[in-house]
Amino acid sequence: MTAVSNAAQLQDNDLLLEQQLCFALTVASRSVVGAYKPVLDNLGLTHPQYLVMLCLWESAPRTLRNISDALAQAPATISPLLRRLEEAGFVTRQRVDGNERSLAVGLTPAGTELRQQALAVPGTMMNRLGLTREQVGELHSSMMALIAATAEDHADAGSA
Amino acid sequence: MTAVSNAAQLQDNDLLLEQQLCFALTVASRSVVGAYKPVLDNLGLTHPQYLVMLCLWESAPRTLRNISDALAQAPATISPLLRRLEEAGFVTRQRVDGNERSLAVGLTPAGTELRQQALAVPGTMMNRLGLTREQVGELHSSMMALIAATAEDHADAGSA
DNA sequence: CGCTAACAATTAGTGCACTAACTATTGGAG
DNA sequence: CTCCAATAGTTAGTGCACTAATTGTTAGCG
């Protein structure tokens, strides 16, 4: 066997910016989030805040830890975000009774009502992006597979 | 005809976090960038800085404006990033002669040499993610299509 | 019971990303 | 030639995302 690893034969042009998946991925992420902005502005939410609200509309109250797990983000990221959502009047923050460590995050009436406006967002976004429900589904599957790939341990690196 | 728009029939569960493309996309982006971190740490670069270096390895010197266009980012994002790359000793910043407005961003010897180490990065990352070159290519195409979708003007919204 | 290790949340500090405001330069129209 | 609109870059301010350090609480082990 040569010293060449299983998947990665070195190729010319491997460093070309335009063919980096990581580049296309970050641009796509920023572009899509940017496309949400005018729509979410009407609700008074940023995109990360919108994701937190989706979380709470499914189940509330829930703890900060629970939300941070659901969004795959560090508690330190969620903490100030919840503070701003409280200031905006959409969520409540109080300690769980029986466990002074945990923070119970709930919805205010305004937060609950906001869901009615949010119901139109997914459809609006599909239209704005010109994507069919099927295309969205396929892209979603691709992203889930990619997330799974980062979560696994492909530890072959240099074991030959 | 009813008031329902062409693409977006409202469906139950459209607001479920787990089926939002925008959520999967942002998680995938953060996960992949995160997977680069240990590799890029060895080069002394963050991921956005790595993208700037890819840019410069293809062509240098070039202006800040040119780089910001290539990376699809605001000049205000690139400006401090270049300052840090200069402090790290990888790039030079000087005014273009004949045009005092433009900033010519070039490579230092250290910046040029860094490319040799960077050559291994794409292969290393493919191995770490357990992706074949074909899979990377397919995902890349999907992302480019999505970027194109955000760039177009799907202005049908409510015209019926 | 008392101590300690694990856990929940917050804070501090760095870097990105974006908008808006500002400075300086350039170049073209009158 | 002069003025003025467009351009290039920087700075200020907000919000996200991450790591590390800190505070307080809980729970379990001896």
Rg (CA), chain B: 21
CB of A99 within 7 Å of some strand D atom: yes
Tell which phi-psi region holds residue B24, choosing left (phi > 0), alpha (psi between -120 and 50) or beta.
alpha
Q: How far is CA A128 from CA A20, A131, B7, in A?
A: 26, 8, 10
CB of B49 within 7 Å of some strand C atom: yes
pTM above 0.75, yes or no: yes
Please compute the mean of the pLDDT values over residues B41-65 and round it to a whole number: 97
- The answer on pLDDT for A160 being more than 50 is no
| Banded model confidence at residue A96, pLDDT cuts 50, 70, 90 | confident
- The answer on pLDDT for B4 being more than 70 is no
Which residues pair with residue A87 across a beta bridge?
Answer: none
Sign of CA dihedral B62, B66, B71, B74: positive
What are the backbone angles phi and psi of residue B74, rounded to the nearest 5°? -70, 145
Please compute the mean of the pLDDT values over residues B90-114 and round it to a whole number: 94
Please compute the mean of the pLDDT values over residues B119-138 and round it to a whole number: 95
- What SS3 class is residue A151? helix
CA-based nearest residue in chain B for residue A122: B14
Query: Which pLDDT belongs to residue B156?
Result: 53
- Identify the residue whose tokens are 């009436």: A109
Per-residue pLDDT reduced to its tens digit, A126-159? 999 999 999 999 999 999 999 999 998 676 544 4
Query: Which pLDDT belongs to residue A13?
Result: 83
Contact B34 A150 (CB under 8 A): yes
Q: Where are the beta strands (DSSP E) in chain A?
A: 62-63, 91-96, 99-107
User: Which chain B residues are closer than 8 Å to A4 by Cβ?
Assistant: none
- The answer on pLDDT for B126 being more than 50 is yes
Per-residue pLDDT reduced to its tens digit, B61-84? 999 999 999 999 999 999 999 999
A160 touches chain B (CB under 8 A): no
Q: Which of chain D's bases lie under 7 Å from a protein CB?
A: 7-13, 15-21, 24-27
CA–CA dist B92, B105 (Å, integer): 6
CA–CA dist A118, A124 (Å, integer): 10
Crossing angle of the two packed helices B47-58 and B75-87, in degrees rounded to 10: 90
CA–CA dist A155, B34 (Å, integer): 16
Please compute the mean of the pLDDT values over residues A51-79 and round it to a whole number: 97
Which residues pair with residue B92 across a beta bridge?
Answer: B106
Query: Which pLDDT belongs to residue A157?
Result: 45
Q: Provide the token pair at B97.
A: 């002669």
Q: How many CB pairs under 8 A join A and B?
A: 213
Query: Which pLDDT belongs to residue A158?
Result: 44
B130 touches chain A (CB under 8 A): yes
Mean pLDDT across chain B: 91
**What DSSP assignment string belongs to A6-32?**
SS----TTTT-GGG-HHHHHHHHHHHH
- The answer on pLDDT for A38 being more than 90 is yes
| Banded model confidence at residue A99, pLDDT cuts 50, 70, 90 | confident
Per-residue pLDDT reduced to its tens digit, B11-23? 768 899 999 999 9
How many other β-carbons are positioned within 10 Å of the β-carbon of residue B37? 11
- The answer on pLDDT for B154 being more than 90 is no
Per cent of chain B over pLDDT 90 is 82
A52-56, B4-8, B53-57, B91-95: segment of lowest average pLDDT: B4-8
